[in-house]
């Protein structure tokens, strides 16, 4: 590069060169930033779509939990609400086992009141997993996202009572509701 000023202050000549140099690189720098931003947005959108397709992340959507049992069953569900993730505890208090169908994206957190060896997990389908709960045991699950609505279904002819304990972390309140679920869908929230 040839300095623009032949006579004058050396610092001024360096300044002129710097300004000319940065102006000549600005279009290339701008194009690079646009390309990089577009590539990052495309990558983020691809990851979200892939996770949605694989069932790893679901948008806040209605959720139905199905119970199967041979004898009358009482289940206590404790649900944390008010955040993106949460915990759901499912406790069945009868002396016979029961089955519960939950979203496949939920992962077992812990087992209480029974041996984890007696907890059975069927092979998951695309969206759900059927769990066989041992008698008088509690299974606790991590949930990746809070459902917008919760409904319960009784897939058996026997009576099903569900005690739903909802703990809302944002409102700092807890509620308890006793629901008798028939064969039809029973909406909780």
What is the DSSP code (8-state) at residue 29? H
Mean pLDDT of 125-139: 91
**Confidence band of 152 (pLDDT split at 50, 70, 90):** very high
pTM listed for this prediction: 0.64
What is the pLDDT, as a whole number, of residue 179?
Answer: 93
- Sketch the domain layout of the chain as residue ranges: 1-54, 62-187
Please say if the pLDDT value at position 21 is more than 80: no
Question: In whole angstroms, what is the distance from residue 8 CA to residue 63 CA?
Answer: 77
What is the pLDDT, as a whole number, of residue 32?
Answer: 66
Q: Which fold has domain 62-187?
A: Immunoglobulin-like (2.60.40)
Please say if the pLDDT value at position 163 is more than 50: yes
Show the beta-strand stretches assigned E in the chain. 62-68, 73-81, 86-92, 98-103, 107-112, 120-121, 128-133, 137-143, 149-154, 160-168, 173-181, 186-187
Which pair of tokens denotes residue 152? 């319960």
Average pLDDT, the chain: 78
What is the DSSP code (8-state) at residue 182? -
Question: In whole angstroms, what is the distance from residue 176 CA to residue 181 CA?
Answer: 15
């Amino acid at each position: 590069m040839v300095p623009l000023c032949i006579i004058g202050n050396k610092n001024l000549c360096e300044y002129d060169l710097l300004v000319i140099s940065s102006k000549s690189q600005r279009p290339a720098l701008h194009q690079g930033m646009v390309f990089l931003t577009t590539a990052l947005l495309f990558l983020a959108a691809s990851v979200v779509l892939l996770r949605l397709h694989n069932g790893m992340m679901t948008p806040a959507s209605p959720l139905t939990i199905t119970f199967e049992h041979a004898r009358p069953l009482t289940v206590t569900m404790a649900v944390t609400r008010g955040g993106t993730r949460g915990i759901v505890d499912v406790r069945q208090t009868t002396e016979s086992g029961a089955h519960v169908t939950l979203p496949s994206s939920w992962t077992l957190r812990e087992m209480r009141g029974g041996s984890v060896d007696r907890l059975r997990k069927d092979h998951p389908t695309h969206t759900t997993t059927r769990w066989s709960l041992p008698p008088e045991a509690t299974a606790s699950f991590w949930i990746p996202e809070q459902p917008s609505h919760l409904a319960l279904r009784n897939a058996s002819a026997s009576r099903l009572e569900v005690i739903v304990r909802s703990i809302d972390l944002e409102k700092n309140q807890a509620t308890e509701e006793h629901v008798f679920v028939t064969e039809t869908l029973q909406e909780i929230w």
